[in-house]
């Protein structure tokens, strides 16, 4: 996935969700790990950004319940745990 500066700017913009918790989690992963992640993980992260906020919150709250193993792995990597993150 050969990405230009414009592509990366668009992806970073898509990480901004409107809730500070989701913004923090997604932007943190993007800024620290996305560029050096394997291409498959980059694709999964982009798929994750396509999800609606309620689904993302559900996934971050209970990653063990995610059926897609790739998304579950990326969510767990973002969180640093499989235990979940309670967003209030």
Domains of the chain: 5-79 (1.10.150.250)
Q: Which whole number is the average pLDDT over 78-86?
A: 73
| pTM, 2 dp | 0.87
pLDDT tens digits for range 34-81? 999 999 999 999 999 999 999 999 999 998 899 999 999 999 999 987
Contact between residue 56 and residue 41 where contact means Cβ atoms under 8 Å apart: no
Contact between residue 34 and residue 11 where contact means Cβ atoms under 8 Å apart: yes
């Amino acid at each position: 996935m050969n990405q230009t500066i414009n592509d990366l700017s668009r992806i970073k913009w898509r990480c901004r969700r409107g809730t500070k918790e989701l913004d923090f989690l997604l932007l943190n992963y993007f800024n620290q790990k996305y560029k050096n992640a394997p291409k498959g993980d980059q694709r999964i992260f982009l798929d994750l950004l396509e999800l609606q906020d309620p689904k993302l919150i559900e996934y971050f709250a209970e990653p063990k319940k995610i059926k897609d193993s790739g998304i579950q792995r990326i969510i767990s990597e973002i969180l640093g745990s499989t235990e979940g993150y309670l967003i209030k």
